[in-house]
A and B are shown apart, each in its own frame.
Chain A
Amino acid sequence: MSNNEMARMKFYCDDQRCIECNGCSVACAEAHELPTGVSRRKVITLNEGVEGKEFSTSVACMHCTDAPCEQVCPVDCFYIREDGIVLHDKDVCIGCGYCLYACPFGAPQFPRDGAFGTKGAMDKCTMCAGGPLETNSAHERELYGQNRIAEGKVPMCAAMCSTKALIVGSADEVAKIYRTRIAAKGKGVQSAPYGWSKAYSN
């Protein structure tokens, strides 16, 4: 990829490596000082304790290219940056929860402290890109959390992933890393990443 093209930012969680240590979700909560009860990122384990069938994966807003939340929002508070990061304007959001209907991943969170609480009416993963307020201002940090993308840094969850299961970056870079791992294994490629079909099957 040349520098002239815009990255399309994606998360990927390698379930061969995810061990449900919750490093990502706590790193996120701590970095953005989220109120308890709000999980921008959550680790789920399916078939816990069932031999050969247990696996864990980390889920947050997937920053969809054709984001359903953005399409259904009645007040049009969502916007998609050129690099594909899906954000929303908390000064516009009314916290109706319609985005939750649309989201296949349960990403939108609704802080218990209400519309005027520390993280607005609806809160979700920003891929550490802050919000529409002045970059790295105290106001932006308070309402949206850190803007690490603007600082040239990797989003917190993936940077702190204990086993490097969670990868973030432009889609082709993520694919490249994953391909390298699969190639190293030399025992076939996993049929498909656990995503749409299994994300809410339990």
Chain B
Amino acid sequence: MTSTTQNALSTKVGRRSFLKMAAVAGAFGATSAFASSGVTRAATEDEVKNPFPGSKNVRTICTACSVGCGITAEVQNGVWVRQEVAQDHPVSLGGHCCKGADMIDMVRSEVRLKYPMVKEGGQWKRISWDTAYERISKKLDSLRKKDGPDSTIFLGSAKMSTEQAYYFRKFAAFYGTNNIDHQARI
């Protein structure tokens, strides 16, 4: 959208429309619904400009595909409140496909795995991180001693950061096996 449109909107509509009735082109009169909702109070500059006062925008990158679209995440008090438009990103110019437009759901999806779990006797059971670390390490350690490091395979991820991927590769090396791979193989 060009600046002309923006100017027209912000001067003529944006600022004025919080006095809602002024902007309504005579479609109907002042009904009680409006009279009681306090719309005639002048909105503060901050309220009009930003519905999430005090929020900050964080630049980050979409995790879907390798195009690397920019994402602007609006964060208020440590909560990702909405996804803003990274209009000035040199590759994506603010654009997203449906996956990218919904990146915020990666964080706030209700079906996330919330705590460590283990299957025991066919049933899922919640455990603490410490228990998980302890039990897994013990098992890995004993397998490594009994059957050798090549009895384990590590499958890493193209969804990790480069640094994490590097440390994942390094982990297998220090564990003592080349049984390590990730999605580039598919």
A and B touch in the complex (CB under 8 A): yes
- Tell me the A residues contacting B by CB distance below 8 Å: 1, 3, 5-7, 9, 21-27, 30-31, 70, 76, 78-83, 89, 91-92, 129, 132-136, 139, 141, 146-147, 149-154, 156, 158-164, 167-170, 173, 176-177
Flag the segment in B48-56, B131-139, B160-168 that touches A.
B48-56
Taking A81-B25, A82-B23, A164-B93 as contacts, is the C-beta distance between A26 and B101 under 8 angstroms? yes
| B149 proximity list for chain A (CB < 8 A) | none
| A6 proximity list for chain B (CB < 8 A) | 8, 12-13
List B residues 35-57 near A (Cβ within 8 Å).
Answer: 37-39, 41, 43, 47-51
- Complex CA gap A78/B24 in Å reads 10
Number of interface residues of B (CB under 8 A): 51
Kindly provide the distance from the CB of B41 to the nearest chain A CB, expressed in whole angstroms: 8
| A133 proximity list for chain B (CB < 8 A) | 20, 37, 39
Kindly provide the distance from the CB of A2 to the nearest chain B CB, expressed in whole angstroms: 9
- Complex CA gap A82/B98 in Å reads 32
| B10 proximity list for chain A (CB < 8 A) | 152
B144 within 8 A of A: no
Taking A132-B39, A146-B82, A149-B13 as contacts, is the C-beta distance between A30 and B1 under 8 angstroms? no
- Complex CA gap A30/B102 in Å reads 6
Kindly provide the distance from the CB of B19 to the nearest chain A CB, expressed in whole angstroms: 9
- Complex CA gap A155/B148 in Å reads 59
Nearest chain A residue, comparing its CB with the CB of B46: A136
- Tell me the B residues contacting A by CB distance below 8 Å: 1-2, 4-14, 17-18, 20, 23-25, 27-28, 31, 33-34, 37-39, 41, 43, 47-51, 82-83, 85, 87, 92-102, 104-105
- Complex CA gap A80/B34 in Å reads 16
**Docked-complex contact B101 and A23, CB < 8 angstroms:** yes
Nearest chain B residue, comparing its CB with the CB of A156: B85
| A89 proximity list for chain B (CB < 8 A) | 31, 33
Nearest chain A residue, comparing its CB with the CB of B29: A76
- Complex CA gap A146/B51 in Å reads 9
- Complex CA gap A150/B15 in Å reads 7
**Docked-complex contact A170 and B8, CB < 8 angstroms:** yes
| A141 proximity list for chain B (CB < 8 A) | 51
**Docked-complex contact A169 and B5, CB < 8 angstroms:** yes
**Docked-complex contact A169 and B2, CB < 8 angstroms:** yes
Residue among B4, B5, B25, B37 making CB contact with A82, cutoff 8 Å: B25
**Docked-complex contact B49 and A152, CB < 8 angstroms:** yes
- Complex CA gap A136/B81 in Å reads 14
Nearest chain B residue, comparing its CB with the CB of A22: B98
Nearest chain B residue, comparing its CB with the CB of A133: B37
**Docked-complex contact A151 and B7, CB < 8 angstroms:** no
Nearest chain A residue, comparing its CB with the CB of B94: A159
- Complex CA gap A168/B94 in Å reads 14
